[in-house]
Each structure stands twice: as structure tokens, then as C-alpha cells.
Amino acid sequence: MAARDWDAEIDAWTERFRTIPDPPEVFARAIRDGWDPAERAALAADAEDYAARHDGWLREITASGWDLVRLDLRDPCGACVRYSGAPYSATGATPDLPPPPPLPICPACRHTLNLLTPFFMQSLGIHPEDLADDAVPYEPIEG
């Protein structure tokens, strides 16, 4: 797992959320009232913990030979909603799909990558050859 500079990410996302509707509540509060140092430190620590768990999950599924994942959103904000339901290639074995975004996308989001198994796709009427049509490459925030 590559180390992330949560202070820099929090600063960059704070600025980005000034122009995006529906920021996560912690960012809306910070934009309105300024950052509370304790709340900011807790956000960074929680984001680091979530990133470590997410990286572990990706290592597990890719070691098991799974490639296709879908980003499912919990409490989407204006920055993340565009990625809702988008398919990604966790290993690069599906060249028509982009790699998944690093989670958390922003320090406050807690979205998940879920497996797109053949049974799951069949149950939803998703055809593997159509996945590229729903792909949304992740565009990282400029820091």
C-alpha cells in the first residue's frame, strides 16, 4: 500500500468540495466553520485505517484470481456519484476496464469494491462484454 498524505488530501478535498454540491458532512462543516484539529486528526486516522482494510481486501480477492469489481457507494457525495456502479479491473486482466480508484476516494467516503462474479452478473442481467460501456475511469484530485 502506497502511503497517502492525508493532511494534503484533506486540504485538497476541502478546496474541491467548495465547488461541489453535497459534500460529506465533515467537509461541509469544515468549509462552514473551519477545521477542528481533533476532528481533522480523527478523519485522517479513520481514512488510513479504511485504506489499509481496502488494500487488504484487494490483495485477498486478486490473490484468489478475481478481477472484476464494481464500486458501490454509501452516502454518495457530488464528487463520487459519477462512479456509482462502475466496473473496474482489479488485476488488469480485463483490458477494456480501468483500474479501480484508491479507496477511500476522499478521506470521508466509505465506498466499497464488490466482486462482479459470473453468477452475480447473470442475476442482474449484466453481460461481461457490456461492462466497458459502464466504465468510468477514476480522475484523481489535483493536489
Round to whole Å and give the CA distance between 100 and 87. Answer: 8
pLDDT for 53: 95
Under the banding of pLDDT at 50, 70 and 90, the label for residue 59 is very high
Mean pLDDT value of segment 50-76: 93
Say if 128 falls within a structural domain.
yes
CB 73 within 8 A of CB 111: yes
pLDDT band at 1 (very low <50, low <70, confident <90, very high): low
For residue 119, being part of any structural domain is answered with yes
1/15 Cα distance (integer angstroms): 26
Residue 139 falls within a domain, yes or no?
Answer: no
> Can you tell me the distance from the alpha carbon of 122 to that of 58, in angstroms, rounded to the nearest whole number?
23
Average pLDDT over residues 43-60: 96
Helices 6-17 and 25-33 meet at what angle, rounded to 10?
80
pLDDT of 143 higher than 70:
no
Residue 119: which domain range?
6-134
| Number of independent structural domains in the chain | 1
Q: Confirm whether 13 is domain-assigned.
A: yes
> Is 140 part of any domain?
no
Q: Does residue 99 lie in a domain region?
A: yes
- The answer to whether residue 60 sits within a structural domain is yes
The answer to whether residue 142 scores a pLDDT higher than 70 is: no
Contacts of 83 (CB under 8 A, 6+ apart): 71, 73, 101, 105, 111, 136, 138
pLDDT tens digits along 90-105: 999 999 999 999 999 9
d(CA 92, CA 68): 9
pLDDT-based confidence at 31, cuts 50/70/90?
very high
- pLDDT class of 12 with cuts at 50, 70, 90: very high
Enumerate residues 6+ apart whose C-beta is below 8 A from 125.
none
pLDDT of residue 124: 86
Q: State the pLDDT confidence band at 26, using cuts at 50, 70 and 90.
A: very high
- Asked whether residue 142 is assigned to any structural domain, the reply reads no
